[in-house]
Amino acid sequence: MFNPKKLALARMRRRMTGKGLAQAAGITADTLSRLEKGHRPPDDSTVVKLASALRYPTEFFFGDDPAVIDHDGVSFRNFSKMSAKEKDAALSAGQLGLQLAQWADDRFNLPDPDLPDLSYQNDPERAAMEVRQYWGIGERPIGNMVGLLESKGVRVLSLSEDTANINAFSFWLDGIPYIFLNNFKTPESSIFDSGHELGHLLIHCKGDLRGDRLLEREADGFAAAFLMPANDIRASVQRPITSETIIKAKAKWRVSAFALLHRLWRMKLVSTEHQYRSLCIDLSRRGYRSSEPIGIEREISTVWKQVFSSLWSEKITKEDVAKELRIPLDEVEGLIANMTATSIRPEARTLSIV
Amino acid sequence: MHFIQTVIRRDPWEVEPRLKEIGLTSAGLRRVRDVTCAARANVTDFHAANAAGTFAYQDGVWCLRDEFVDEVWKMERPGGVEAIVSLQSQVRVAFANVDRCCDENHHPLPISDKGSGAESLCERNLFESLPSFAKEQSSLGIPLFYCMIDPDGRVELSRPTIEGKTFGPCVERNFISNGPGDDDGAKQSADQFDDGAVEITPTITRKAA
């Protein structure tokens, strides 16, 4: 039976307006509106036209409702900068991601979630310390953030949204934590984003997360403390602090130069505002504002790499998976983009400050 | 006095019954391992050079007691050896940081010297030239086992002889775990990089069709 919710999902994924889709499919906007509202089922030829305009397989539009994500429980970074279209596209990517993750869960033994409930904790610094102790990683730098998250049962997927306005988002569903990362950013930014989303999952796991700036600041504070533990920073960063010191030291914690500088400033190791601003200017002059000229390799997902390697050994391709899920191949590839193999670093682009 | 060949138990099917006989559990010993690994991870460059081993020892001793002391197992400190003892199974257990565990070609060596207290509890090795043999039974009462944990998180429960402030051949060795990845599917290898970064990667398996 035709499912109008799936039509809406596919349209949002393709970032099309109702009018635009109606035009592309050769039907009236009124007809499309009635179809999306479920007032009447379309005839076969209309489904074919819609599928063709959306580049989705016709089978996609039939069957059960897509997974429901509680929008209030989703934390978006840069919420205020996002357009409704971008937000809808990202959330519908989340719905497809859930479908893919569930598919993998049915076929593979994936790690069970092992995240402490830190919703009582309102100090991000302490929360970061607590989860580090809970996971037994103490003060050590994290060599692979995606691998750590996956080993603790977080399902990490990629967001192939070619926009700087969407960094990442996360949510819990049925006791499983999910993080979607925009992997078209620098590896350092993605690592910080994953720390930020981990903060939301741990300390903001109960409640409405819509665009609250305080919650975003808390998650940023958590990410900084989790990725750059204070005691290790104090013991490792040489003084006096210069741009060279920062560029050399940042590799240890796999963060951007600006993220480390900001951490040093917050920890008062960069002691004056004048020194902080001078370092900001100097790092910007060296190109670290928009990129990481001396950077690290992108982290890849161990889980998705193993899933697709295992499937490949059984002669099951991504095309087969897409077909079984009844979603386009480009959507499957988008959900694991840059996550199953190392890729070249992105060129410099304008990104939001972490 | 006679000598026997070291008994080595490698697989769960032979280790678990022996642990049950002693009155310990492999899950409990793995928890001791997890706690000591976490303690090691708290070390920064500002700590003393031996901090990792010290932290691991302190927390390892604590956790061994926290995990097992009950109506049967009691805390004790004979001759300065921080241990637990079961009069029911007639076994003492102490904690030791060692260089390498669960390698049948390598006798685990303690990171720190073992003192006279431990030596008297373990009895000396009188058969130096034949390292796979050890004296069967301590003549000084309840035998002392060590929960041995190496820096990679391998665990064994073994009964060594002690001579020259170090472990000699063991009377018996029970291999408990080859590291965190051996237990829960999350392969964790620390110190993979020069900066001691924690590298944890999950291992997944295919479900049966």
- Report pLDDT digits (tens) over B9-51: 999 999 999 999 999 999 999 999 999 999 999 999 999 999 9
Question: Which candidate from A142, A231, A235 shows the least CB-CB separation from B198?
Answer: A142
Share of chain A above pLDDT 70, in %: 91
Report ipTM for this prediction.
Answer: 0.78
CA A165 to the chain's CA centroid: 12
Q: Span B134-140, mean pLDDT? A: 45
CB of B141 closer than 8 Å to CB of B148: no
Length of chain A: 354
pLDDT at residue A63 tops 90: no
Instruction: Please tell me what DSSP assigns to residue B193.
Output: S
Segment among A72-86, A233-247, A252-266, B184-198 with least mean pLDDT: B184-198
pLDDT at residue A152 in the model: 95
pLDDT at residue A117 tops 80: yes
Closest chain B residue by Cα to residue A252: B195
Q: Span A113-119, mean pLDDT? A: 94
Token pair 């899950």 is found at B27
Where is pLDDT greater, at B193 or A152? Answer: A152
The C-alpha of A122 sits at a distance from chain B's nearest C-alpha, in angstroms, of 23
Alpha carbon distances (Å) from A154 to A12, A176, B16, B97 = 26, 7, 32, 33
pLDDT at residue B180 tops 60: yes
Residue numbers in A near B208 (CB within 8 A): none
Where is pLDDT greater, at B203 or A246? Answer: A246
**Does the distance separating the beta carbons of B44 and A231 come in below 8 Å?**
yes
For chain A, report the end-to-end CA distance as a whole number of angstroms: 45
Give the C-alpha separation, B155 to B174, whole Å: 9
Size of interface A-B (CB pairs under 8 A): 95
What is the overall mean pLDDT for chain B? Answer: 82
pLDDT at residue B191 tops 70: no
Share of chain A above pLDDT 90, in %: 62
Give the C-alpha separation, B152 to A263, whole Å: 31
pLDDT at residue A163 in the model: 64
Question: Which candidate from B192, B204, B207 shows the least CB-CB separation from A306?
Answer: B204
Nearest Cα residue to B172 out of B145, B199, B196: B145
Q: Which amino acid appears at position A129 of this protein?
A: M
pTM value is 0.85
CA A131 to the chain's CA centroid: 20
pLDDT at residue A350 in the model: 41
What is the overall mean pLDDT for chain A? Answer: 88
Give the C-alpha separation, B43 to B53, whole Å: 10
Closest chain A residue by Cα to residue B200: A148
Exposed, middle or buried by CB within 10 Å (0-12, 13-18, 19+), for A274? exposed
Q: Span A81-109, mean pLDDT? A: 88
For residue B52, the tally of other CB atoms under 10 A from its CB is 22
**HEC assignment per residue over chain A:** CECHHHHHHHHHHCCCCHHHHHHHHCCCHHHHHHHHCCCCCCCHHHHHHHHHHHCCCHHHHECCCCCCCCHHHCEECCHHHCCHHHHHHHHHHHHHHHHHHHHHHHHEECCCCCCCCCCCCCCHHHHHHHHHHHCCCCCCCECCHHHHHHHCCCEEEEECCCCCCCCEEEEEECCEEEEEEECCCCHHHHHHHHHHHHHHHHHCCCCCCCCCHHHHHHHHHHHHHHHCCHHHHHHHCCCCCCHHHHHHHHHHHCCCHHHHHHHHHHCCCCCCHHHHHHHHHHHHHCCCCCCCCCCCCCCCCHHHHHHHHHHHHCCCCHHHHHHHHCCCHHHHHHHCCCCCCCCCCCCCCCCCCC
pLDDT at residue B118 in the model: 65
Q: Span B178-198, mean pLDDT? A: 62
Where is pLDDT greater, at A348 or A198? Answer: A198
Q: What is the pLDDT of residues A174-195, one digit of tens each?
A: 999 999 998 778 899 999 999 9
Q: Span B174-198, mean pLDDT? A: 67
Q: What token pair was written down for B67?
A: 């995990």
CA A1 to the chain's CA centroid: 33
CB of A59 closer than 8 Å to CB of A42: no
pLDDT at residue B131 in the model: 39
Identify the helix (H) or strand (E) that includes residue B148. Answer: strand B144-149
Instruction: Please report which confidence band the pLDDT of residue B129 belongs to, taking 50, 70 and 90 as the band edges.
Output: very low
pLDDT at residue A346 tops 60: no
Q: What token pair was written down for B202?
A: 């999950």
Give the C-alpha separation, A30 to A40, whole Å: 12
Length of chain B: 209
CB of A120 closer than 8 Å to CB of A200: no
Which residue numbers of B have CB closer than 8 Å to A's CBs? Answer: 34-35, 37-47, 185-188, 190, 192-193, 195-207
Q: Span B88-100, mean pLDDT? A: 93
Residue numbers in A near B179 (CB within 8 A): none
Residues 6+ apart with CB under 8 A from A93: A13, A159, A160, A161, A180, A331, A334, A335
Q: Span A339-353, mean pLDDT? A: 49
pLDDT at residue A208 tops 60: no
Question: Which candidate from A140, A234, A303 shows the least CB-CB separation from B202?
Answer: A303
Residue numbers in B near A302 (CB within 8 A): 201-202
Question: Which candidate from B38, B41, B200 shows the least CB-CB separation from A147?
Answer: B200
Instruction: Please tell me what DSSP assigns to residue B207.
Output: P
Q: What is the pLDDT of residues A268-305, one digit of tens each?
A: 999 899 999 999 999 999 999 988 998 899 898 999 99
pLDDT at residue A344 tops 70: no
For residue B26, the tally of other CB atoms under 10 A from its CB is 18
Q: Span B112-122, mean pLDDT? A: 65
Give the C-alpha separation, A255 to A145, whole Å: 11
pLDDT at residue A77 in the model: 64
pLDDT at residue A312 in the model: 93
pLDDT at residue A226 tops 80: yes
**Does the distance separating the beta carbons of A143 and B198 come in below 8 Å?**
yes
For residue B120, the tally of other CB atoms under 10 A from its CB is 17
Segment among A163-172, A175-184, B32-41, B59-68 with least mean pLDDT: A163-172
The C-alpha of B133 sits at a distance from chain A's nearest C-alpha, in angstroms, of 38
CB of B170 closer than 8 Å to CB of B156: no
Q: Which amino acid appears at position A23 of this protein?
A: Q
Instruction: Please report which confidence band the pLDDT of residue A354 belongs to, taking 50, 70 and 90 as the band edges.
Output: very low
Q: What token pair was written down for A3?
A: 């499912």
Q: Which amino acid appears at position B24 of this protein?
A: L
pLDDT at residue B126 in the model: 42
